[in-house]
Amino acid sequence: MTPAPAQAASARDQQIATRIGFFIGGFGVSAWAPLVPYAKARLGLEDGTLGLLLLCLGAGSLLTMPLTGPAAARFGCRKVLVVAAAALCLTLPFLTILDDALSLGTALFLFGGAVGSVDCVINIQAVMVEKASGRPMMSGFHGLFSLGGIAGAGGVSLLLMAGLSPSAVALAVVAILITALLRAKAGFLPYGAEGQGPIFAIPRGAVLFIGVLCFVAFLTEGAMLDWSAVFLTSLRRLDPSRAGMAYACFAGAMTAGRLTGDAIVRSFGPLKVVAVGGVLAAGGLATAIAASSWIAGLIGFALVGAGCSNIVPVLYTAVGRQDDMPDHIAVPAISTLGYAGILAGPAAIGFVAHSLGLTAALLIVAVMMTGVSLSTRWLKA
């Protein structure tokens, strides 16, 4: 499935398009977050019902990810990315106007499927583009996803604060996404990863090992999103209006780490980045837990973000270098395991916190990140 030379854009255009693709993924999914309270109020939902509806988004992502890799191999990354991004743009406005739980759940499922497809295929493209370049680029690619997340959540919040309706804001987001998609389209690869394999495949060998590490890394990110503010308010008595600073410190440090990560990986090597990153994240959690002041807690959560920042990009590079499974099967496999960590992890932490306390639950996460650090003796990156 090798393209004719005229079909493919230049290497520089491919790299720019890959960065824009990651930005589209981060911007699109994060734009929904500030709109959630409006949907809750519009439908008059209880917290439990809202939680079930939000699971539809994750279910859509998990179910479509294994399909998009083979689709990209057959039709090319460009076609799949354009279709998935168009589906994202089409479904987002409906999330602001649907007024019954069944239709909103269906729209969230479709929206999640679009988000998962974009995320999966842009990672497949990133693996191929990085291989072709011969130098580390994955951290920078993922950094654009983080920037997109900050821009999406922050920009939508500002527009809502300015008095725009949720529907108007959603249309503004769609306009930005379409503009970005048109800019990037020519640089998306007209082919997918080569190789044969079934649509659904159980991860094995190196892919399973890398997938488990991704699960832990994404679980830690999910824990910071859902539990860092709760930790500071319940155990450090921080005013709830300031508790959001915990995740802001984590996300800010992670974004900075990823934007500088390619140079860090070149200087120190991928294995050392994972080893030090795992220790730094575990130490940050330990600092947040042991510190008596909320300021020290914020520093600890920032250390978690810095430590986690380049672990996942290195793991995606590693999956592109293994030969146990073809890339178009392996990348969706570890992406699915990663998303499972984000979805299931925070809930599992909640169960542990209910039985043993939140401090014990976060300590378990710190131990798991230490395990990621120790994994470098078996990881081939």
Q: Where in the chain is the domain with CATH 1.20.1250.20?
A: 5-187, 205-377
**Which residues have a Cβ under 8 Å from the Cβ of 207 and sit 6 or more positions away?**
319, 322, 324, 325, 330, 333, 334
Q: Is the domain covering 5-187 a CATH 1.20.1250.20 domain?
A: yes
The distance of Cα 232 from the centroid of its chain, to the nearest Å, equals: 24
Neighbours of 144 (CB within 10 A): 23
8 A C-beta contact, residue 160 and residue 60? no
Question: pTM, whole model, 2 decimals?
Answer: 0.86
Nearest to 140 by CA among 311, 16, 320, 262: 262
Q: Name the superfamily (CATH) of residues 205-377.
A: MFS general substrate transporter like domains (1.20.1250.20)
> Could you list the pLDDT tens digit for every one of the 381 residues in the chain?
444 444 568 999 999 999 999 999 999 998 998 898 898 889 998 877 887 888 898 889 989 998 998 999 999 999 999 999 999 999 999 999 999 999 999 999 999 999 999 999 999 999 999 999 999 999 999 999 999 988 988 899 899 989 999 999 999 999 999 999 999 999 999 998 765 555 556 788 899 999 999 999 999 988 887 788 788 887 877 776 676 688 888 989 999 999 999 999 999 999 999 999 999 999 999 999 998 888 898 899 999 999 999 999 999 999 988 888 888 889 999 999 998 888 877 778 888 888 899 899 999 999 999 999 999 998 987
**What whole-number distance in Å separates Cα of residue 15 and Cα of residue 22?**
11
